[in-house]
Structure 1
C-alpha cells in the first residue's frame, strides 16, 4: 500500500495546487503529481529499468577491469591497442611481447638496418681483402694469373 504525503505550503505555492508536483511517495526522493505518486512502478517496468541499469553498470565495471589489466609498452609507456593485446595473448611465445605495435615496428626496422649495415661491412671487408690479395700477387716478383 503506497503512502503519499505532502505539505500544505507546497500545495498553496504551486500554481496547479494539489494537481501539481507536490506529492511524495515514501521511499522515493522526488516530488510527483498524485497520479505518479500512486502509480506502482514496482512491477515489470521497474524490474526492466533496474536490470538495464545493472547491465550498464556491470559493463562499465568490466570495461574498467579490462583497462586496468591492459599491458603497457616497456619502451614508450603507451597502452596496447586491442589488436596488439589479442596478438600477445594468442601467441604467448612471440618475441618482444612487451612492445606496442609502433615500438615493435621500430625495433624490427632497427634490426633490419643493423643487419644491412653488418652485411655491407662484411662485403666491404671481403672486397678489401680481395683487393689486397690482388695487389700482393702483382708485385715485382709476384706471379700473375
Structure 2
C-alpha cells in the first residue's frame, strides 16, 4: 500500500471536500476468504487509504464529495427558488401597478362621478374621425340610460 500511495492518495481540497482524486487510481483489495464468508455484497472491499472494509459501491465512491455536491445542489436549488419567488413578487407588483395606472386613467362619469368600466370605456372612445360612436361619451351606462329615457 505504501509503495503505491502516489497513485491513489488524493490531494486536500479547500472547498469542503476532503480530497480530490482527479488523475488518481482507486485501488481496491479483497481477500478471497472474506469474499467467500460475506459474499460480494458484504463489507469486504478495502479501498487503499480507508481504515475499514466496505461494500464495493461504498469503497469505489467518494462519499464526502457526493455529500458536498448534494449540499451545493441544495443551496443552488434554494437560491433558484428564492429567485423565482422574487420574480413572481415583482410580476405581481408590476401587474398591480399597471392595474392601478389603468384605473387612474379611466374616465369618470360627469353625471354621477363613477369610473367607467372597461366595456363602457371602449364604447365611449372616439372612432376614426375622432367622434365617439356613443351619443353620451361622458356618462356611465346608468346615467346614459337615464339621459336617453329622459329625452324620449
- TM-score tier, shorter chain, comes to 0.3 to 0.5
Higher helix share: 1
Relative to the length of structure 1, the TM-score reads 0.46
Relative to the length of structure 2, the TM-score reads 0.44
